[in-house]
Every structure is written in structure tokens, then in C-alpha cells.
Structure 1
């Protein structure tokens, strides 16, 4: 166990604690890990039930992809389960606690913070906030998540052998870039929800400034005057710019951003661990009646319906 702790602290994070909670006789730690520039790929298992505690991440984004079994995660106030159908995503802020059964073996992908942020910045042709407001999970059954996980597993297999194609430096660099760019296109983030008119170099700087602060801290009680001050223009100019380039007024966009954030969090949360009101307040909604009406109008169901996992 001490060797496992020392290995994980060296390879992953120094403020890391591993405590066995299952039968110590079945403990069988194994980790096939490869360091490839700014990314660390590994297949890890412990053989017995453990609990992992990690201090606040600061340097990296991290993705866990269960290959077998199930994993329970606590991060930033949310409890999320992952299994071979759903991956976990961690942004570099907040402590992490994992309940890791002995039956769970997983792919672990660590990506340096600046590398993923630069990739997403380039892909969107706009400046993104740091840390990125990423979704806590993504689907591994269909769509890009399935392809990305298969790419990671293939790359790890290739790098673990002495004569694989990926062992060639030029190919290894290209595969590394595919892992980073693939994750940027796979993981949930609010920038992908922006109307097409906002993407690219023709977006006005005034609009961009207001959008940046809204995406960075959507829960803040901004007024249109606050956003106009950030943008460096008058209220009327900001409103007209948003109507022309976003298709809606600034505060309408902010409400939509908050509603989407609430919907994403409720969709992936355990109804026994938190309430709708708790999530609504966290995203800046102070009047629950108006919030519930706006939520139903946007998604067609009540917030509690989403929390129960039926939509």
C-alpha cells in the first residue's frame, strides 16, 4: 500500500491519500502508466475497495474512464457515479474524494491545465476563462466520448509496447495532440452553446467582454449596467450589440446560461444528496417560483423531474 501511495503521489498529485476500506488480502495494485509530454495516460486498479482523497487540483484537468465496475466521486459539492458508460471529468479547483471498489479498473488521463485551455481557446477562436467550466461527466456509449476513450486505450496499448507505431516520436506527438483536441471537442462546456454568430474573429470586443464575465461567474447578480461597465460602453449600445450579434438581450442570455448550468448539474446529481433549491441558489436564482417557471419553459419539465433522472 505504501508503494502504491508513493507511486501515485509521484505520477499524479502530491496531496493524495489512499485508504483501504475493503479486504486487505485482495489488495493488488497495478498501474500501467505512460508520460507523454503534457499528458499522463494510465490503466489503474487496486484489487480491493479503497478511498482516495486528493487536495485541490491546480495544475491539471483529469478524466477517469471506468473499464469495469463503478466509481463514486465527490467534487465541488456534487456526487457523481461513473461506470463503463460514463466518464468523470475534474477541473483544477476543489478537493476530490473517490469511493473506488476493487472491481473497478479504469483509464486515468491527466492533462496539464494550460494545454487544454489553449486547445479550447484555439478551437473556438476566443479567449476562455480559467479554469474551464467543464461538465462533470460525458457519455462513453455514443458520440465523441466513445471514440475518445477508444483512442486513449489504443494509444496506451501502443505506447506500452516496444515496437508500436506510437513509439515513433513524430507519431506519438500527433496522437498526443489528438487526445487533447479530442477531449476539447468531447467534454461539455458552455462555449459550445453560444450562437454561431458569436464564434470567430468578427464578434465585437464589447460583446466578448460581457460574455467572458458571465461565463466566468454566472451566479453573480449582474445588472445590465454592470455588464455595460465591463464592456466599456453604455447600456443602450451593449443591448443593441447583443441583439445584433447574440440574438437576445444580455440578461436573457445570462438567464439561459444559468438555466443550462442548473440543468446539467441536476441531470448528473444524486437526488438524495442535494435539492433543487440548493442548485438553483448556487447558479444565482434567488426567486424559486420564477426560476421553476423559466426552467419548465426552457426544458419542458420541472427541475425536480430532471433531478429524478426521467428526462
Structure 2
């Protein structure tokens, strides 16, 4: 697989997918496909008003959905692992619990979620919100560039931020405009150069908006240790060529350390081993490509091979475990 080029589908190609349904199972499947596999949606009380509306746009590492259920729901999500997430209500009040912190999010305050830790949501029927997913690597690279690696991973982010004043207001307006433009057919953001710039603004704007202890004048004891350059080199290599058949020894060589040292550094600073991270990176890449592809133009095996999976049986099992559906189902849902 070494000589293969990267995925054929440009990751900055905007995608718009919408669903309006009164079927709870259909709504759950849609949210699992668009956002996360380990997601459970349970109705609370009367379902007569249930009317799910999901309007989702994807642009590279950023996914934005305008979501509402029309009835009171309990939503539980397992570890996000490869993404950071923001919920910004447009109407109503959402109650969330994550990593021991409870946040009441409404039109004045957003809730922020890190990659590690279950998320428990009470989502009332009158709550309509913007659900913003930003890939973990994209946000961490942005902060890495700005702060010369002075952070731990996952990022030590605050659990919420203000939407009425300061940078939060600007970022929320930018996300709303991004969503509206990508829902339209002929907006300026549909131009590739504009799309990539807008993507970068959303990611860098979030890095500047969320609360974190990585400023120059943070109190003693809050400053996180630097991510080792050995880890960063291995991550850079995997993100540059995720389809390459890396071994643990090869990644250790890239990092300039022994295998055991690299594995321990990854567990400490990334939360998993290098090859586990690589598999999840590939799975997310396949999922993103299948979610954007024309089912009449591609097939699952081609996409899987392109992302470095050589054993289709094991790939299909890992994909279903991560996203809750088969890869072929993801592709069929694009029809």
C-alpha cells in the first residue's frame, strides 16, 4: 500500500445532509452516522410531539448540525475519542453532564465536551441547537502551532463559554453563517479556496474561544507538560499517510525512540497506543469518505483499501463497532 495516493474524495468538499422524521430509530441512526457511533437516544414521556429535524453540513474536520427532537429526550454518548464537541442552543435549555461537571446550556452559553468521558444530556422538546464537531487532531494542531506544544492531550478545556459577549459571540455567528451558506446551493463558500479558509477560521476561532490553562500568564500548577516531540513526529507521519502500513517499530523510528518508550508516551499523551490511534484515524477517514461519496460511483472495498485496510472482514467488524452500522449501510444512506 506504500505507493498509493491519498483518498480521492477532497476532504474540503462541502457536504449537506438533512433528515426530518417522526421515527425515533431513524433519527438515532442519522445522528450516529453524522456524529458518533456510541450514541443512545431514549424518549422521556409523551412522544406525540416527536418530530426530529437534522440539517447537517460537513467541511473537512468540521461538522455542524442544526438539531431538534420536538419531544423530551435523554441522550447518552460514550467517549468521543477523536473529536471535541460544542452544543450551542438556539432555543430552549439543554442540561449536560460530562466529567463530573453539569452545564445548563441555552442561547447565552454553550456546552463543551472533551474526547474522554461519557456525555449525558437531558434534551427538552423545545431545544433546537447547533451541534459542532471538530476533529481532535485539527483543534490540537491549531493550539500546538499557537502555543509551541505547551499542552496536554486531550486539551484541558473549560466546560462552557459565553455566547453573548466576547469571542464566543463571534465564533457562534461564524458557525451559524457557515451552516447557512453550506445549506445553500450556490454560496461563495462553495468555492474550494473559500471553503478551506472558512474551515480554518472555525477551528482557530474555537481554539481562541474555549477556556483553557495554556495562556502565558496561567497560575502555577495549571500549565500542562509539553507533548513530546517524539509523539508529535509519529502523529504527523500518520496524518500525512494514514494508508501507509506503519508498524510500531517504524513509528518508533520516526519518533527517534524505542517502541516501549513511544507506546508509553502515546498512552500518557494521546490516551491509546500508536497503532490503535492509527486504526481509529483510518476508520474515521473511511467513515468521512463514505458519508460524502456518491454510492453509484464508489464501493466500500475500494475506500477501505485506499485508507490502508487490507483485511475487509476485520475492517467491517471494527467499523460496525465504532459507528454502530456497517460501512455498506453508511454508503447506502447517501442514496
TM-score range, shorter chain: 0.5 to 0.7
Q: Which runs of 4+ in 1 moved over 4 A?
A: none
Task: Specify whether residues 169 and 4 from structure 1 end up closer, same or farther in structure 2 by C-alpha distance, changes over 3 A only.
Answer: same
1:187 aligns with 2:203: no
Residues 106-154 of structure 1 show CA distances to partners (whole Å, capped at 9, x for unaligned) of 0010011010000011122334210000000000010000000000000
1:167 aligns with 2:190: yes
Partners in 2 of 1:195 and 1:76 — Cα distance? 26
Residue 4 of structure 1 is matched in structure 2 by 27
Extract unaligned runs of 5+ from structure 2. Answer: 1-23, 228-335
Q: Counting helix residues as a fraction of each chain, which structure ranks higher? A: 1
Partners in 2 of 1:212 and 1:37 — Cα distance? 28
Residue 84 of structure 1 is matched in structure 2 by 107
Equivalent pairs, count: 204
Partners in 2 of 1:135 and 1:211 — Cα distance? 14
Residue 58 of structure 1 is matched in structure 2 by 81
- Report deviation, 1:23: 2.0
Of residues 93, 96, 101 in structure 1, which corresponds to 2:116? 93
Of residues 97, 110, 135 in structure 1, which corresponds to 2:133? 110
Larger Rg: 1
Partners in 2 of 1:122 and 1:66 — Cα distance? 30
Q: Could you tell me whether the CA contact under 8 Å between 2:143 and 2:207 is conserved in 1?
A: yes
Task: Specify whether residues 214 and 78 from structure 1 end up closer, same or farther in structure 2 by C-alpha distance, changes over 3 A only.
Answer: farther
Of residues 44, 48, 51 in structure 2, which corresponds to 1:28? 51
1:75 aligns with 2:107: no
Partners in 1 of 2:225 and 2:133 — Cα distance? 27
Residue 157 of structure 1 is matched in structure 2 by 180
TM-score of the superposed pair, with normalisation by structure 1: 0.63
Q: Could you tell me whether the CA contact under 8 Å between 2:65 and 2:179 is conserved in 1?
A: yes
- Report deviation, 1:214: 9.7
Partners in 2 of 1:22 and 1:167 — Cα distance? 42
- Report deviation, 1:98: 0.2
For 1:157, what is the secondary structure of its paired residue? Answer: helix
Of residues 211, 220, 224 in structure 2, which corresponds to 1:212? 224
- CA RMSD, aligned part only? 2.2
1:121 aligns with 2:150: no
